């Protein structure tokens, strides 16, 4: 469609919007005939850009396809995977990849031997079961490709190929797809694919992909007496009225439709404090918070509750009266360490001394 340099596209847009755009255009245009000469250089852009070198392509072309094109040679054992998992993955996903703390569980049972034989996970039909990664995934390449490109979440692209093999092997063992003494490699990964519990669970037979795909649900544009009885089946219960915060502060204050004060019960008369403007979030102006956000700290810490590392509010409480707190914390932030709260805090060498001090000062002066 996109044929440059032609003006067909504009014409098409105008045509599809005859009633609006076209009338505006005629209103602006004079009756004079349009002179136009196309640029003889319009298609001379071939020299822009350059060829990619083989090393550049090797550096970026990391994807692995379902047929294992792109998969580097290598191997990793379940055993190695287990210790690596404890070190680099368990803090977020749990020791057995069943934690719900950072993300939905990757594995948590619900897969049977019959599923592995059939290539279809039956419990996907049971809406009371959590749908885990290993229940859904139909291609083992997906796990390899994704862990390699994006995990660990706070330090992606830091795993070697063999490490990725071992982590995939560990996950497969948690779902009882392979045994504990298994070693996964590029040689045998196709055999694992043949055991993947939901390998037959995907269909591409639907009209939502291809440009000319057809709809599977149809309505008509009936205009009169369309519904016999209108029955309200579901609405938000009163107890959940304020669950998204006070809606009054989420609507424009001088709108014809003002926000409901959801701290009041349903149907209450609108209060005269109706013209409430929310306080803009104060956090944008805090450079220490920006540093925390920009340096991946919030992947492991939260302001008010413990994640992998301690809540920053707890850190403040612990050190606020400590005379050397700024220097100590700045150093710990840059160099990492363990032994205070539990777990290991990785070094953060990308921060300058000044930046680390800025964060430390903010922590102890909060």
**Residue 71 interacts with which of ligand HEC, another protein, none, CB < 5 to 8 Å by class:** none
Q: Which of 71, 116, 151, 325 binds ligand HEC (CB under 6 A)?
A: 151
Instruction: Read off the tokens for 161.
Output: 């190929």
Which three-class secondary structure state does DSSP give residue 206?
A: coil
Backbone torsions φ then ψ of 82, nearest 5 degrees: -65, -45
301 is in an annotated binding site: yes
The answer to whether residue 359 forms part of the interface with ligand HEC (CB under 6 A) is yes
Instruction: Read off the tokens for 337.
Output: 């360490």
The answer to whether residue 21 forms part of the interface with another protein (CB under 8 A) is yes
Which three-class secondary structure state does DSSP give residue 24?
A: helix
Q: Which of 75, 99, 112, 154 binds ligand HEC (CB under 6 A)?
A: 154
The answer to whether residue 76 forms part of the interface with ligand HEC (CB under 6 A) is no
Stretch that binds another protein, among 165-173, 183-191, 233-241, 334-342 (CB under 8 A): 233-241
345 is in an annotated binding site: yes
Residues 169-188 close enough to bind another protein by CB under 8 A: none
290, containing H or E segment: helix 287-294
Closest contact distance (angstroms) between CB of 194 and ligand HEC is 20
Which three-class secondary structure state does DSSP give residue 75?
A: strand
Nearby residues of 264 by Cβ (< 8 Å), 6 or more positions away? 271
The answer to whether residue 262 forms part of the interface with another protein (CB under 8 A) is yes
Give the residue with the Cβ less far from ligand HEC, 260 or 359.
359
Instruction: Read off the tokens for 138.
Output: 């139909």
CA–CA dist 133, 99 (Å, integer): 12
147, containing H or E segment: helix 140-150
Residues 86-115 close enough to bind ligand HEC by CB under 6 A: 88-89, 91-93, 102-103, 106
Residues 101-140 close enough to bind another protein by CB under 8 A: 101-103, 120-122, 124-125, 127, 131, 133, 136-139
The answer to whether residue 348 forms part of the interface with another protein (CB under 8 A) is no
345, containing H or E segment: strand 344-345
Residues 299-338 close enough to bind ligand HEC by CB under 6 A: 299-301, 308-310, 315, 329, 332-333, 337-338
CA–CA dist 87, 84 (Å, integer): 5
Candidates 344, 335, 276; CA nearest to 310 is: 344
Draw the binding track, 180-219, toward ligand HEC (x: CB under 6 A; -: no contact): ----------------------------------------
Q: Which of 29, 31, 46, 113 binds another protein (CB under 8 A)?
A: 46
Instruction: Read off the tokens for 88.
Output: 């680099």
CA–CA dist 328, 322 (Å, integer): 10
Show binding-site residues.
297, 301, 345
């Amino acid at each position: 469609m996109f044929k440059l340099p032609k003006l067909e596209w504009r014409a098409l847009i105008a045509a599809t919007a005859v009633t609006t755009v076209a009338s505006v255009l005629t209103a602006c245009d004079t009756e004079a005939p349009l002179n136009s000469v196309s640029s003889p250089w319009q298609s001379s852009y071939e020299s822009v850009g350059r060829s990619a070198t083989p090393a550049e392509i090797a550096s970026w072309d990391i994807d692995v396809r379902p047929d294992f094109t792109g998969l580097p040679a290598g191997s990793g054992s379940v055993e190695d995977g287990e210790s690596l998992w404890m070190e680099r993955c368990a803090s977020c996903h749990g020791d057995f990849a069943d934690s719900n703390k950072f993300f939905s569980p990757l594995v948590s049972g619900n897969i049977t031997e019959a599923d592995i034989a059939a290539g279809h996970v039956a419990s996907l039909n049971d809406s009371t079961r959590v749908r885990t990664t290993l229940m859904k995934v139909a291609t083992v390449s997906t796990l390899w490709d994704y862990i390699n490109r994006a995990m660990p979440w706070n330090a992606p692209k830091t795993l070697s190929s063999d490490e990725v093999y071992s982590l995939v092997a560990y996950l497969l063992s948690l779902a009882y797809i392979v045994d504990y003494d298994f070693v996964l490699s590029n040689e045998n990964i196709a055999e694992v694919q043949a055991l993947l519990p939901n390998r037959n669970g995907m269909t591409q037979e639907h009209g939502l992909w291809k440009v000319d795909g057809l709809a599977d649900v149809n309505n008509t544009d009936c205009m009169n007496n369309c519904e016999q009885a209108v029955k309200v089946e579901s609405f938000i219960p009163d107890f959940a009225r304020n669950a998204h915060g006070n809606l009054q502060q989420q609507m424009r204050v001088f709108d014809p439709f003002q926000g409901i004060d959801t701290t009041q019960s349903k149907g209450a008369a609108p209060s005269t404090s109706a013209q409430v403007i929310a306080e803009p979030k104060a956090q944008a102006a805090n450079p220490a918070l920006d540093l925390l956000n920009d340096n991946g700290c919030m992947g492991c810490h939260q302001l008010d509750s413990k994640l992998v590392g301690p809540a920053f509010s707890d850190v403040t409480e612990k050190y606020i009266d400590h005379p050397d707190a700024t220097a100590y914390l700045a150093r710990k932030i840059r160099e990492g360490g363990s032994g205070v709260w539990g777990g290991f805090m990785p070094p953060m060498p990308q921060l300058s001394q000044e930046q680390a001090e800025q964060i430390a000062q903010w922590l102890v002066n909060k």
